[in-house]
Structure 1
Amino acid sequence: MVEANSVIPLYKQIVRALSDSIANGTYRPGDKLPTETELIEQFGVSRITVRSAIKEMEDAGLVERARGKGTFVSSDTQMYAADDRESFTHSCQLAGKQASTRVLEMGWDFPNLRDAKFLGVDDTQQVLRSRRLRLVDGKPTMLETNSYSAALSFLEHESLEDSLMAVLDRQGIKMGPNTRTLEVCYASELEAAYLNVELDSSLLLFVDRRYAPSGEPLFISRQVYCTERLKFYL
């Protein structure tokens, strides 16, 4: 059911509910969604509301409608929640996809002003930094650049071809709150080369700030996603 008194329109609530079901693997690429009548009964809304929700999902490329057959999850869509708190690897597993990683760089470098401010260091003080290319089913999907606090300097000697969150968990590092911002950016030469897109192509930039339970900063992550290979939902 949806919340009739919510400030979020009913059709938007249905979009979110169905998108969640796609992201967690309840509906996989190629699966048929419930019929209009079934969705009306499931959510307790009008036919117009259901049609508005399906149209928005179709416009976003999340589903495809086949005349006389029904509505199906798009076969080439990798779904993520824009406010996702899980690791990239875990999110791919939920969606039935295979995540892999290529470590491009790992070493010490001078942080930019944003990273230095977050980590509480002077921009003349080197910090540990990694750059990784994340792939979904073998396709370059995200270019990630992380800057780490001194507490995580042991990562220099860890294999980051695995999930970073799994490595931290094995080392007993607990995660506290995090913040995430989202904006559109345009592919630099480096990003275009690694993600196999045209220079200045539109990309999605997430900046994650991860903290320990005590509130101490642990690392800041700049993640650039290729929007041709996945969809985000709010």
Structure 2
Amino acid sequence: MSDLKKGIPLHKQISDWLRDKIETGSLKRNEKLPSESQLSDKFDVSRVTVRRALQTLENEQVIYRCQGLGSFVSDQRSHHPIMEMRDFMEEMAAAGLEGSSEVVSFKQEIPNEKVYQILEQEPGKKLTRLDRVRLANGEPVAFDVTWLPVFYGQLLQDYDLADTTIFKILEEEYDIPVLRGCYRLEAENADKYVAKHLHIPVGQALTLINRISYTVGDKPVYYQKRYYRSDKVTYQVQVSRGNEVQPPSGELPVNEFRPTFNL
């Protein structure tokens, strides 16, 4: 049953409902909003109407959206980046380690439906898949599965991906800036394929980072699943209280979020 009223644009009622949830604290900073499908069912409207409501809130910087991950409540207290987006080699250098990669495979193939949605690609067409072992001082610490639209994949073909990164190639060789990314951390056990390349037992606990990187116009460049060895890599979060009034939830602003290595 729809909760909407007559005489008021549908998308406005949905955006007002979400805004009220955020302002009253029912939805907190960086909390994920209900999905487009859930909102569509709740208000008995099309997903186009829901997207228009979400776009209104995004334009007002009330929420931010990550393709494939969903919509989240913005932190409007800060209008500057609080964390720097780094590639693997930059993370290694910051930790005082020598980073390198071993390319396991680099080819075009058909992904699952989720990858098409994240990269905004037409289902059924082949995309570029790049699998790499990531090493720190010669020791395997992570395994990456990276999907790219064929256009970006073709730009990488003539480069040694063992010693350079996607960021570096696109930005320095083709003037294609990687401007932002969305991350999601999960826990996952190693399957046979990943375990083989990380030299660990099948079933060992890993930290899985789903990462989507974007260029100009919010165009997705790649979707990556990075499996970090949890016995070698942990993530460290640094927070500060600051001088601003804290939200009711008591959450603290994140100043730094970076990996630390146990080698």
Name the residue aligned to 1:168. Answer: 170
Amino acid of the structure 2 residue aligned with 1:208: R
Q: CA deviation at 1:84?
A: 5.8
Candidates 199, 220, 229, aligned match of 2:223: 220
Output the CA distance in 1 between the equivalents of 2:149 and 2:180. 16
Letter in 2 for 1:86: R
Equivalent residue, structure 1, for 2:55: none
Selected match of 2:182 from 170, 179, 182? 179
TM-score when normalising by structure 2: 0.55
Q: How many residues align?
A: 152
Aligned partner of 1:205 in structure 2 is 208
Q: C-alpha displacement at 1:159, in angstroms?
A: 2.0
Counterpart code for 2:127 = V
CA distance in 2, matches of 1:157, 1:126: 20
- 2:102 aligns to what? 102
Aligned-pair CA distance for 1:191: 0.9
Quickly say closer, same or farther: Cα 1:130–1:164, change in 2 above 3 A.
Answer: same
Write out the 4+ residue segments of structure 1 that deviate beyond 6 Å after TM superposition. Answer: none
Give the 3 Å change call, closer, same or farther, for CA 205–84 of structure 1 in structure 2.
Answer: farther
Q: Residue 92 of structure 2 contacts residue 99 of structure 2 at CA under 8 Å; is this kept in 1?
A: yes
**Aligned residue in 2 for 1:141:** 141
Gapped runs of 5+ residues in structure 1? 1-82
Instruction: Could you tell me which runs of 5 or more consecutive residues in structure 2 were left unpaired when the two chains were aligned.
Output: 1-82, 238-263
Going from structure 1 to structure 2, the CA distance change for 1:84 and 1:222 (only over 3 Å counts) comes to farther
Matched letter for residue 234 of structure 2:
K
The correspondence of residues 10-89 of structure 1 with structure 2, limited to 5 A, is 85-89=85-89
AA aligned opposite 1:118: I
Paired AA for residue 184 in structure 1: A
Quote the residue 1:119 is aligned against.
119
What is the rounded CA distance, in whole Å, between the counterparts of 2:236 and 2:201 in structure 1? Answer: 24
Tell me the C-alpha RMSD between the 2 structures.
Answer: 1.4
Query: 1:85 offset after TM fit, Å?
Result: 1.4
The two structures have a TM-score, normalised by structure 1, of 0.62
Instruction: Compare 180-189 and 111-120 and name the one that shifted more.
Output: 111-120
Contact 1:149 1:219 in 2 (8 A): yes
Alpha carbons 1:130, 1:145 under 8 Å: kept: yes
Whether the 8 Å CA contact 2:156–2:166 is kept in 1: the answer is no
Partners of 1:137 and 1:184 in 2: how far apart? Answer: 25
Which of the pair has the greater relative contact order for Cα pairs under 8 Å at 6+ separation? 1
The answer to whether the 8 A contact 1:176-1:214 is kept is no
